[in-house]
Amino acid sequence: MVEDATTIAVIGGTGSEGSGLSLRWAKAGLDVIIGSRKAEKAGRVAGELNEKLAEERIGGLANRDAAAAGVLDVVLFRSAAHRPILEDIQPALAGKILIDVTAPIDPKNPARVQILEEGSAAVQAQAFLGEDVTVVAAFQNIAAGHLQDLDHDIDSDVLVCGDDRAAKETVIDLAGRAGMRGLDAGPLINATVVEGMTSVLIALNKRYKSRNAGIRITNISDQRPVTS
């Protein structure tokens, strides 16, 4: 369970997806610190988000300071920025859960799935960070446009992949706090497909002139997953 007093650091939180998640968690009463390469930019964007929320729940710091302030850390970056940012914040992550939202997208052809050599960005992150950090992959299929529209009920599931069941339960709880159903979608390597689904959703958006396509898993009851 995520305690009410939990501070969530959203590294890359000045972007559209990170801002949207930050708004949703802050609206649910959690404290959020967004990170940026520039502390001033983080502070400015945090101020804009607080105005939207009509309360002061979001702060802004340089990425590394934000990561240190978080009990739970979330990263969201384009693939090119993913590794350098992980190198920057690594010292602040020891012993923590890192939620990786990154979906590797080819900027030249975003609607075509790009599969990394290691399988997924989250697998890459876990290999780089080592056993001291528990990486969980989630939220890659949730459209920023829907997250940012606080009046909109999000009609999409969050597929949560990771190798540590307790950490996945925490992230499923966090999805619930943001108004979404989180589902345990298996080990971290399964994030390869979930990250790839982001390009599939972009292809659907293009083909059907939509902006915020999402996914919903059918025929799963809302009871807790079986434990063996």
Ligand X SMILES: NC(=O)c1ccc[n+]([C@@H]2O[C@H](COP(=O)([O-])OP(=O)(O)OC[C@H]3O[C@@H](n4cnc5c(N)ncnc54)[C@H](OP(=O)(O)O)[C@@H]3O)[C@@H](O)[C@H]2O)c1
Contact between residue 161 and residue 33 where contact means Cβ atoms under 8 Å apart: no
Residue nearest to ligand X (CB): 15
Q: Does 16 bind ligand X (CB under 6 A)?
A: yes
Nearer to ligand X (CB atom), residue 1 or residue 80: 80
Which residue in 101, 135, 161, 185 binds ligand X (CB under 6 A)? 101
- The answer to whether residue 202 forms part of the interface with ligand X (CB under 6 A) is no
Q: What does the buried/exposed string (b/e) look like for 95-124 if buried means 16 or more CB atoms within 10 Å of the residue's CB?
A: ebbbbbbbbbbeeeebbebbeeeebbbbbb
* First-to-final CA distance of the chain: 20
Q: Is 198 in the site for ligand X (CB under 6 A)?
A: yes
Q: Pick from 71, 144, 203, 215: which binds ligand X (CB under 6 A)?
A: 144
Output 36 or 50, the one with its CB closest to ligand X.
36
Q: Residue 18, interface with ligand X (CB under 6 A)?
A: yes
- Kindly indicate which of the ranges 70-78, 150-158, 167-175, 186-194 contains the residues binding ligand X, using the contact rule CB under 6 A: 70-78
Smaller CB distance to ligand X: residue 82 or 177? 82
Report if residue 44 touches ligand X, rule: CB under 6 A: no
Q: Which is nearer to ligand X, 110 or 176 (CB)?
A: 110
Kindly tell me which of 21 and 167 has the beta carbon lying closer to ligand X.
Answer: 21
CB 30 within 8 A of CB 23: no
Cβ atoms 73, 96 nearer than 8 A: yes
Q: Does 41 bind ligand X (CB under 6 A)?
A: yes
Q: How far is CA 104 from CA 23, 29, 123, 136, in A?
A: 23, 31, 12, 16
Q: Closest Cα to residue 220, out of 190, 186, 183?
A: 183
Instruction: State yes or no: residue 109 binds ligand X (CB under 6 A).
Output: no
Report the interhelical angle of 121-129 vs 79-89 (nearest 10°). 20
Residue recorded with tokens 């293009």: 206
Q: Which is nearer to ligand X, 33 or 76 (CB)?
A: 76
Q: What is the contact surface with ligand X in residues (CB under 6 A)?
A: 12, 14-18, 36-37, 41, 76-78, 80-81, 85, 101-103, 105, 140, 142-144, 198
